[in-house]
Structure 1
Amino acid sequence: MNFLMKNPSLSRFNGGQPKSTSNFMSKNLKNKFSYAVVIMLTLLFISCSGDDGAMGPAGANGQNGADGQNGLDGNANVTTVLVEDTRLLSGQDNIIAVNGITQDILDHGAVLVYMRIGDIWYSLPYFGFLNTINVWKIDLNSVILRVDPGNTVLLDFKFVLIAGNSANASANSKTNIFSSLENNGIDVNDYNQVAAFFKLE
């Protein structure tokens, strides 16, 4: 006689397999399916992440900004001439030799004149209690000074010679020199400021 017939309790099995075994196989199949999905997604991600593409062409250069104002050069283009113990006479041209005043300086540069009283340098023209001292004319290698009303004692004079830029020469060269000094906060009437700016002794 068939064993199954002798054991009615086994008639609850499906196809000879217990229900508990069927449930186990179902869960196992779901787990395998989940693993398969994860592996497929991983392979898909790897296949999509290839090498970076080549860099695109460079963009066009931007527009150049406006040129700034040319500044004054250092003391390579600035010299000083010291003339000591000079007495100025009233009512006549007092010609002082100042070597270094070239035609280029006359045309495109500038000459600053200072007079020392004690330890202080005063710019010309000078307006004192007793007399007035003016720069009458600046010429090649010389400066003409005038004093009024009387003669002076022995004085020291310092001449600051600023060469211009002949490559960019214009009728406004002298104006540009003074404008540049002013833009740098330099008062040309103050010799100490001028000396510090140009690194003069």
Structure 2
Amino acid sequence: MKTRKIRILIHLAVLGLLIVSCSAEDGATGPAGPAGPQGEQGTAGADGADGTDGTNGEQGDQGDTGTANVIFSDWIDTEFAANIIATGAGFDIDVAELTQENINEAAILVYGRNFPGLSTPDIFPLPFITSSNQHNYRIQDVGVLRITIASIEGLSIGSPFFEDYRYVIIPGGNPAGGPGAGGGLGTKNGSVDYTKMSYKEITDHFGIE
């Protein structure tokens, strides 16, 4: 009888230990609950103030126009003989404005004029070719412009076509290294090619009398 009571007490003690060791923390995790409703959106912040506009810089002075930049001569009488027996000839014109800077950077134009007995003389840009002769010019040196005539057929030149000459120098009107090479014919200034302009267009454009 006593032994039976002891067994019952042992069983009760073991059962108590099992109950104590099986707490709620050891159970399986339950499913997640449903998501809560989205909260109300906050009010938008105020826009920032616009920045102030910058001030415009001062406008530069307008560049010189017309004859302020352009150098031109009076009509210069020819020094050629009335009848040239040789196949080539030339004479020099002293030009103080023909500086090295202008040789490198300026447009240098030369015109010849003859008098056919009309009220308006004929004026042509050089180089100019007649039936048998070529009339041209070149930069001989700093300060020296040379007017030339050469026979195309290798015969005597005979009577020169022009009776006087005039030069026009347009500073900054030519890419560097242009007029000094190739007989001084490079005369482009951006989109303007002065060799394509007539004498009247040149004088009107620059206000040359």
User: How many angstroms apart in 2 are the aligned matches of 1:173 and 1:136?
Assistant: 12
Partner of 1:193: 201
The structure-2 alpha-carbon separation of the partners of 1:77 and 1:154, relative to structure 1 and needing over 3 Å to count, comes to same
**Contiguous gaps of at least 5 residues in structure 2:** 1-47, 55-62, 116-120, 152-156, 180-184
User: How many angstroms apart in 2 are the aligned matches of 1:130 and 1:170?
Assistant: 33
User: How many angstroms apart in 2 are the aligned matches of 1:106 and 1:128?
Assistant: 28
Equivalent runs, 1:31-180 vs 2, <5 Å: 56-58=49-51, 73-88=65-80, 90=86, 91-118=88-115, 119-149=121-151, 150=157, 151-152=159-160, 155-164=163-172, 171=176, 178-180=188-190
Structure with the higher fraction of residues in helix conformation = 1
The structure-2 alpha-carbon separation of the partners of 1:177 and 1:92, relative to structure 1 and needing over 3 Å to count, comes to closer
How far 1:192 sits from its partner (Å)?
0.5
**TM-score normalized with structure 2 length:** 0.51
The structure-2 alpha-carbon separation of the partners of 1:188 and 1:159, relative to structure 1 and needing over 3 Å to count, comes to farther
User: How many angstroms apart in 2 are the aligned matches of 1:130 and 1:173?
Assistant: 28
Contact in 1 for aligned 2:128/2:134 (Cα 8 Å): yes
Residue type of the partner of 2:90?
D
How far 1:176 sits from its partner (Å)?
9.1
User: How many angstroms apart in 2 are the aligned matches of 1:146 and 1:76?
Assistant: 30
Deviations 1:123-176 (A, max 9, x none): 0011012421111335322211221231526611110011128xxx97367699
The structure-2 alpha-carbon separation of the partners of 1:125 and 1:170, relative to structure 1 and needing over 3 Å to count, comes to closer
User: How many angstroms apart in 2 are the aligned matches of 1:143 and 1:102?
Assistant: 11
**TM-score normalized with structure 1 length:** 0.53
Work out the percentage of aligned pairs sharing the same amino acid. 23
User: How many angstroms apart in 1 are the aligned matches of 2:175 and 2:132?
Assistant: 40
